[in-house]
Amino acid sequence: MSTVRTTKSGLVIPSAWLKGWGNTVSVRRSADVVIIESPAREAARKRLVRMVRKLRTGGRNLPLLTPGDIAAEVNAVRRQRAGRN
């Protein structure tokens, strides 16, 4: 199996590693990581971001919830979305 190589101009990743992700992939770079994701994974991540934002916004409007309660709900949603109930 091919390995990842670095060149002067970038990073070479074997195409076999990306098979099954679809014809198009999204590639983003941050300071420490390169994120490669399929369109379906990107859409799921964006849905999760919207859900978390709604939870946090709704939680701010309820005086009975503490920031710890909001964090617990956010973590519960993340676990559920990740398939680890």
What is the mean predicted confidence (pLDDT) over 61-79?
82
> What is the pLDDT confidence band of residue 47, given thresholds at 50, 70 and 90?
very high
49 within 8 A of 71, measured Cβ to Cβ: no
> What is the pLDDT confidence band of residue 49, given thresholds at 50, 70 and 90?
very high
What is the mean predicted confidence (pLDDT) over 51-66?
79
Kindly report whether the global pTM for this prediction surpasses the value 0.85: no
Mean pLDDT of the chain: 82
- Beta strands per DSSP E along 1-85: 5-6, 11-12, 26-29, 34-37
Residue that has been written with the tokens 């992700």 in this structure: 21
- Give the amino acid at 15: S
User: How far is Cα 25 from Cα 49, in angstroms, rounded to an integer?
Assistant: 20
